[in-house]
A and B are shown apart, each in its own frame.
Chain A
Amino acid sequence: MTPHGNPEFPGESTPAGSANEGSRAAAASASSTPATSTTESHSHSQWPLWEVFVRSSRGLSHVHAGSLHAPDAAMALRNARDLYTRRNEGVSIWVVPADAISASDPDAKGSFFESPQGKDYRHATYYTKSEGVKHL
């Protein structure tokens, strides 16, 4: 497991089960990303990275607010409270170890996200014949 696998960090945290991702990571490091060399010597006291999600008021979703470092979940929550809700930004906080997040493969944009395009029949606007009929 990577010491601080930022999910937004290219090339390091490779979500399980994503073969594509793995080879992309390899390509990234082949193009001499300075990245992977940062995990050496000094890291044993570097606290892991956490992603912070804040619910701004009741009834709304938690939204990604940012990241921080903390030694464990209990402190991550407290640091998140101190850092990301100093101006009443939230009523609830989630913290997630950054390396626990699996992300979709950025190279698979086409196969992952283009299929819904053209499927107009999923949208109410597709059904024009009922236009003008009330409460429909």
Chain B
Amino acid sequence: MKPTNTRDPEYYHKVVDCQYACPAHTPVPEYIRLIAAEKYTEAYMINWESNVFPGILGRTCDRPCEPACRRVRVEKEPVAICRLKRVAADQKGEVKSLMPQGPFASNGKKIALIGGGPASLTVARDLAPLGYEIHLFDEQIAGGGMMRSQIPSFRLPETVLNEEVDYILDMGIHTQFLTYVSSLKDVLSKKYDAVFVGTGAPRGKDLPKLPGRKDGAAGIHIGIEWLASVAFEHTKSISPKVIVLGGGNTAMDCCRTARRLGGKDVKVVVRSPFKEMKASPWEKEDAMHEDIQIFDNHVPLSFEVKDGKLIGMKFQKVRAVYDEKGKRELIPTDEPEVLIEADEVLVAIGQQNSFPWIERDLGLDFDEWDMPVVDRKTFQSTLPKVFFGGDAAFGPENVITAVAHGHQAAVSIHLFCQGKDLLDRPSPFTNLVSQKMGIHEWSYDSQIAADQRYIVPQARKSITLKDRKKEVELGFDIQTAYKEAQRCLNCDAQTVFSEDRCIECDACMDVCPTSCITFTANAEEDELRQNLLVPAENKSQDLLVSDTLKTGRVMIKDEDVCLHCGLCAERCPTSAWDMQKYFYSVTKAYQIPASLPAIQK
């Protein structure tokens, strides 16, 4: 293999598993260390800079970082990355003065943002400091999009939501709430320099053809519409017997909300096997903890209506069969149909995009699934002025993805407004600094804590079920947060190898607790992976390959299960190994340096 090019900013980035997996590439270990050092404000700002909504995400993020966490590969449970983020938000001091301070000198450009969810708000935050005049339109009464209308208050208190939405709106954003945009043509005619569409995926799927759907209509609600009407206090109660159809996070929010509005006997009924439900494992646990039964492998047959009133639903039991490719088929069993009684049904079987307000003759192309054609990198549509992001771009995802889209769309809009090439994107900010403090001292805590993941305490069910606004999770206290933070392996403390210093004493290879380092003859990657002390079978993790050493061998380090314990560097007599902190940050629109004035000859 060729020596690894560690100057490629993505090489060390990939070693920081959590950060790499985070759509917005939040510098996770950096803020976790700050939490351990009780520097909550600084930890919050690291988050705010990257993911814009630390308090919200610290409670509700889908946490793609956690399954990626290195800890999973050497122990069992990941670091509670998400809930540590909440600690930073809960414990922080004054932060507003640390954010860009308006009023910002105008740059003469005007941008329209349609929809006020996390995607649009991120674009607003990233562009406002550059002097753009930003007009935000949303049909709801306040900003936040589905974070306001869908995510229930018992998971996300309104105060937390308002605080973080307001940090952005206070930057001088012109908002027009309670304003449904019914024509893109109209918006375009208003001479905006660019338009961003962040309207989400607002339509809940229905079961229009299922027998009884029309007759039972009074007792049947579309999940996301029902949640919104609860959030905006149009709906205040539900009948005692409720069926929730679907197995995703929306279904979990529906059933838990139903329990708080009077649902006594709330059942979730889902087609797929329990294990394959789309809802996050922790949401399923929380639902079951609130006495909600989950019936898996049940396919709906009909709504049962008697005397014009819904009385329940009939289901066919199925079992999942998989072909060689792992493709699933649900085969009906010969068990009899199942009748489940209910007074009301919430249909939470998915969401769709819908763009009835975008005219199809504007030069903005839609694909065969009636989705706008959007560039995955620039977020530009086929109408150069119009950009998309969040759920509106490629279908429903989550808040952190909407934020990541927002950052990139803001960069594109800024480049576009300056007449620059959208594909010539700013490189990330990176920094690699030695952590050596003394002969064997590191500036980070290199000791490896064996503690298992700590559990976030919850408020008592007898209290939370009575009040839909009462937050269930209480958050880590400071002591537990410290202990949980110590579980982080500091994956950004990179093992940097300088072959010119290595005397091949083997000390690093001998000491490495997880057998990451091997000195061996060079070969092609597949062969090399097999020739290591322990074969490197996880191909998603890279090998760090040195140049040829004096004895003709090479040093190979399998990044897979490195603990970043620093022992290799401590036992190295010549400092051929050094622990260096790698800071990687996605460049946001407001961080792009202004171009230098042209030099006059």
Partners in one complex: no
| B contact set with A: CB distance below 8 Å | none
| A contact set with B: CB distance below 8 Å | none
